[in-house]
Amino acid sequence: MTEIKDSEAPMYDAFAAGFLEHARDGACNAHYDRPAVLAALGPVAGLTVLDLGCGPGLYAAELLARGAARVVGVDVSPEMVRLARAEVATDAATFHCQDLQSPLSWAADGEFDAAVMPLVIHHLDDRVAALREAARALRPGGRLVVSTAHPVHDWLRQGGSYFAVRRIEEEWNSSWQVAYWQQPLSATCAEFAAAGFLIEGIQEPAPAAALRGRYPELAEELANRPVFVVFALRKA
């Protein structure tokens, strides 16, 4: 397991508590990303699920509420893991603090039935390494659902060449300093294949009904220009 030194504190540590409150009922997290990812994952009753980039535990809580037998969450941020353990205080959930790009040494080959990686892959420098570890930990035919920023949305915001692969640093939510990778759809699909996954489906989410009722202007925007994209993958 890779230890995180204080001088290398993960970016989300600085605003973990604020992110929890933002994501718990926020428009894009609670009413756009989570419904789409969970719908793509399908029924989880009785399954063992790996939650990659678990953040403050909101996905883990929902997976257990939907009948998952066990959820194991992983996040590079110690503060996020602390919040997740408080948010999901049950023996059915376990949380590990480590870099997703390093080996999940505590996970046996084929241990998990399914996995989610919501809105985290674009923050990773070595995405294929993280995806290969996910594939190793999944049983044959196991499913992984990945959500990430829609490449067209990023390109329209950032300009330049759509086909460029580049690291972006910017400020989110007025004060959150973040870094992420922008790349074309073809590059993302090639990384899935390199890690041993087949693409079963690609969703460009529609706004959930709750979002349309509470944030009509944003819902109208998302109905015409998607911000996220969701990939349903299966271990080859």
Tens-digit pLDDT profile for the chain (236 aa)? 333 333 346 888 989 999 999 999 999 999 999 999 999 999 999 999 999 999 999 999 999 999 999 999 999 999 999 999 999 999 999 999 999 999 999 999 999 999 999 999 999 999 999 999 999 999 999 999 999 999 999 999 999 999 999 999 999 887 889 999 999 999 999 999 999 999 999 999 988 888 888 999 999 999 999 999 999 999 99
Q: Which two structure tokens, joined as six digits, stand for 211?
A: 């979002």
- pTM of model > 0.85: yes
Residue 102 pLDDT:
96
Residue 2 pLDDT:
34
Strands (E), 63-104: 70-75, 93-97
Spatial neighbors of 181 by CB under 8 A, at least 6 apart, are 122, 123, 124, 125, 127, 165, 166, 167, 168
Residue 210 pLDDT:
87
Closest CA to 10 of 74, 104, 73: 74
The answer to whether residues 105 and 98 touch, using CB atoms and an 8 Å cutoff, is: no
Kindly state the helix (H) or strand (E) to which residue 50 belongs, with its residue range: strand 48-52
**Helices and strands (H, E) in the chain, number of each type:** 10, 9
Residue 174 pLDDT:
78
Task: Give buried/exposed letters for 94-104 (b at 16+ CB in 10 A, else e).
Answer: bbebbbbbeeb
Which single residue is written with the structure tokens 């925007």? 221
Enumerate domains of the chain plus CATH numbers. Answer: 6-149+185-235 (3.40.50.150)
Quote the Cα angle for 169-175-177, to 5°: 25
